[in-house]
Amino acid sequence: MAQQIIDTYHTELSRSPAALAEMLVALDALGSSPKQIIIAGKPDAPDTRAILQEVNRRYVPNAILILADDGPGQRYFSQKIEFFKDVHPTEGKATAYVCQNFVCQLPTTDLTLISKLLDANKPTPPDNETKQDK
């Protein structure tokens, strides 16, 4: 089947190989449940940076990452998307809102919980063991 696909798109691949890479990206996006990660906090604050580091430590394909710093960008989003009016740090601490399919978990400041939320529903790698390995 893979050979048939390559044969079918041979001409396009020869003319513009990058176009097919983008097709694969689109196919991946269609088959996944993207996460929306909103971090409420000041950009230079240590707690905000710690959450950003936790997010950036892992590969989260098709994720949307937004920093809600109560600045002009958040005010703009708040005019377009009601949800952003309620996105704020909790008790003065940087707070993560981790959402999937536009359904959000409770906001949290706990890095361990943030890590678990980011890893939730992560595809598991295929089992490459053979029967001889077991």
Q: What is the per-residue DSSP string for 25-52?
A: HHHHHHTS--EEEEEES-TTSHHHHHHH
132, amino acid identity: Q
Instruction: Give the HSE-up count for residue 25: Cα atoms under 13 Å, Cβ half-sphere.
Output: 8
Q: Is residue 128 part of a domain?
A: no
115 and 49: one domain?
yes
Is 40 within 8 Å of 89 (Cβ atoms)? yes
Identify the domain containing residue 9 by its residue range. 1-26
Q: Is the pLDDT of residue 38 over 90?
A: yes
13 and 59: one domain?
no
55 and 4: one domain?
no
pTM of the model: 0.72
> Which residues make beta-bridge pairs with 96?
39, 108
11 and 76: one domain?
no
Q: What is the pLDDT of residue 69?
A: 94
Q: What is the pLDDT of residue 115?
A: 94
67 and 15: one domain?
no
What is the sign of the dihedral through the CA atoms of 4, 5, 8 and 11?
negative
19 and 45: one domain?
no
Domain count, the chain: 2
Indicate the pLDDT class of residue 134, thresholds 50, 70 and 90.
very low
Tokens encoding 65:
């990452």
Q: Is the pLDDT of residue 131 over 60?
A: no
Indicate the pLDDT class of residue 124, thresholds 50, 70 and 90.
low
3, amino acid identity: Q
113 and 54: one domain?
yes
Q: What is the pLDDT of residue 27?
A: 64
82 and 102: one domain?
yes
Mean pLDDT score, 76-91: 93
